[in-house]
Amino acid sequence: MRCPSCEHEEDRVVDSRSSRGGRATRRRRECLACGHRYTTYERIEEEPLLVQKRPGGTETYDRGKLIASIRVACAKRPVSNAQIEALVNGVEEELEAEDTREIESVHLGEMVMRRLRSLDQVAYVRFASVYRNFQDTTEFMEEVRELVRRAGYNVAGQADLFGPAEEE
């Protein structure tokens, strides 16, 4: 391993630990020439997971792209990077359990939304609005109604936000 600071090829491992849900090993290294410390990751090289896109075609699953889309949905919300990482780890563990090398983007999005719904409902609605490509406010409101219904709120008499009051 070359030091990113001085390009020297000799280092020592200062610390090793399991990372990414046991799918990788994180190593802290120290350059023997300049003393610079840096982190490396070791993981098993696997056959890539392919995502079948809606309009057709496939692309290689990209963890970074998934994390970035979830971060956009969680912007200015009380959701930490650790929670986002844990959410993506959960999705990846579920994908591994399915033991498939191809997944439809629809299924992947549903897996993310199911986890976001319990993590942060605003982030969930944001993600769903992009993922499901809402065309108007009616579709958006239907999703919010369903979210409220699932949360068990009594919306009877709440005409201001949810339209006409519902009878029980």
Q: Name which residue leads in pLDDT, 66 or 99.
A: 66
Res 68 pLDDT > 90? yes
SS3 content of the chain, % helix, strand, coil (to 5): 45, 20, 35
Element of type H or E holding 41: strand 37-43
Looking at the DSSP assignment, which residues form a beta bridge with residue 51?
59, 103
Task: Residue 72: name the closest of 117, 124, 109 by CA.
Answer: 124
Q: Read off the amino acid at residue 160.
A: D
Nearest 5°: phi and psi at 149? -60, -45
Q: Read off the amino acid at residue 99.
A: D
pTM above 0.85, yes or no: no
Q: Read off the amino acid at residue 26.
A: R
- pLDDT tens digits, one per residue of 73-129: 999 999 999 999 999 999 998 988 887 889 998 899 889 989 998 899 889 888 887
- pLDDT tens digits, one per residue of 125-145: 888 877 766 666 777 677 777
